[in-house]
Amino acid sequence: MSSNPLSIDGKVIIVTGGGKGIGRVYCQEFAKAGAKVVAADIDHDANEDTVAAIRGAGGEAITATTDVSDDEKTVEMARKAVEAFGRIDGLVNNASLMSVLERRDWKEIPNDEWDRVMDVNLRGIFSCCKAVFPQMKAQGGGKIVNISSGRFWNGTPNRLHYSTSKAGVIGLTRSLAREVGIDNINVNAITPGFTLSDTQISSSGEYAKNNAPPSDRCIQRHQYPEDLAGAVMFLLSQGSDFISGQTLNVDGGQFMH
C-alpha cells in the first residue's frame, strides 16, 4: 500500500463505458496515476482507442468489451480483469444510456426505451457488482463507485427514464453498501453536473457549447470530465476507506445537500 492515502498507484480498476466520453477520461486519468485499467465499454473500437491512448502514454490497460445489461458478459469482464492483473480493486459503474436518448416529453417515451434504460443504467450496475463481488470478497475488500447524476437533486425534466434510473443508482448504492460492508467493500456514488464530455457535446450540440454555465454554480465555468476524475479517484483510494453509502455531488457547487 502506498504511503500516500490518496494514491491509486497499482490498483486494478474496471471502468464500464470506458471507451468514450467521461469514461475514457476516467481510464486515462487513472492510468496516469499508476492504476491498471480495464476499459469495459459496449463499443469494442472505442475500448481499443482508450487502451491504445493509455499504452501510448506508458500506462497499463486492457479492453474487456462488455454489455453491462448481459450477466454473462459482466462475468466475462471480471474474469478478464483477474486474468490480466490478478485482482479487482475498483469498479466504476459509469456505462449508461444518456447521450443517445432524445430529450422529450415524458408521455412520449416508448415503454421499450424505458425498459432498455433501466436494463443498462440500473440492472447493469447490479450485474457488474455481482460479477466483481466474489473476487473483491476473496481478496479482502474493494471499492465500487456508481455514477449517478445531478438530475437526482434537480429533478431535471425531459429524460424521465434516465432521471429515474439515476435516482435508483442512489438507492442501490445505499442498500448495497450496507450489505457488503462486512466484506470490506465500500460502495459510493457521485452526482456529476452538466459535463461537456465529447458524447454530451455531440448529443446536445450548440446548447452544450454556447450556453453559459448555470448561474447558481459557485464555480462559474463549464464542467469537464477532468473535474470528475479526482472525486472518483478519492473514492477508489485508501483515503475513503471509512466512507460508504454516500453520494458526493461534483458540480461546481450548484446543488448543496
Ligand X SMILES: NC(=O)c1ccc[n+]([C@@H]2O[C@H](COP(=O)([O-])OP(=O)(O)OC[C@H]3O[C@@H](n4cnc5c(N)ncnc54)[C@H](O)[C@@H]3O)[C@@H](O)[C@H]2O)c1
- Which residues participate in catalysis according to the annotation? 162
Q: Which of 13, 15, 19, 91 binds ligand X (CB under 6 A)?
A: 19
200 binds ligand X (CB under 6 A): yes
Give me the helices (H) in the chain, please.
21-32, 44-56, 71-85, 111-118, 124-139, 151-154, 160-180, 198-210, 226-236
Rg of the Cα trace of the chain? 17
At a CB cut-off of 8 Å and minimum separation 6, what does 148 contact?
166, 167, 169, 170, 173, 189, 190, 191, 247
Q: Cα–Cα distance between 98 and 61 in angstroms, integer?
A: 25
Per CB under 6 A, the list member of 129, 131, 147, 180 interacting with ligand X is 147
- Bridge partner residues of 185 (DSSP): 142
C-beta closer to ligand X: residue 35 or 122: 122
- Binding pattern for the stretch 153-172 against ligand X, x by CB under 6 A and - elsewhere: --------------------
β-pairing, 185-192 vs 36-40, is unpaired
- Does residue 43 interact with ligand X by CB under 6 A? yes
User: According to the binding rule CB under 6 A, does residue 97 interact with ligand X?
Assistant: yes
Bridge-partner residues for 213, per DSSP? none
**Of the candidate residues 11, 17, 63, 131, the single one contacting ligand X (CB under 6 A):** 17
The piece of 30-38, 52-60, 147-155, 212-220 that touches ligand X (CB under 6 A) is: 147-155
Q: How far apart are the first and last CA of the chain?
A: 33
In what side-by-side order are the strands of the sheet with 247-250? 60-63, 36-40, 12-16, 90-93, 142-147, 185-192, 247-250
> Residue from 99, 154, 156, 158 that binds ligand X (CB under 6 A)?
99
State yes or no: residue 29 binds ligand X (CB under 6 A): no
Contact string 203-242 vs ligand X (x = CB under 6 A)? ----------------------------------------
Shortest Cβ 186–ligand X spacing (Å): 19
Q: How far is the CB of 242 from ligand X (least distance, A)?
A: 26
Contact residues: ligand X, CB under 6 A: 16-17, 19-23, 41-43, 46, 66-69, 94-99, 120, 124, 147, 149-150, 192, 194-195, 197, 199-200
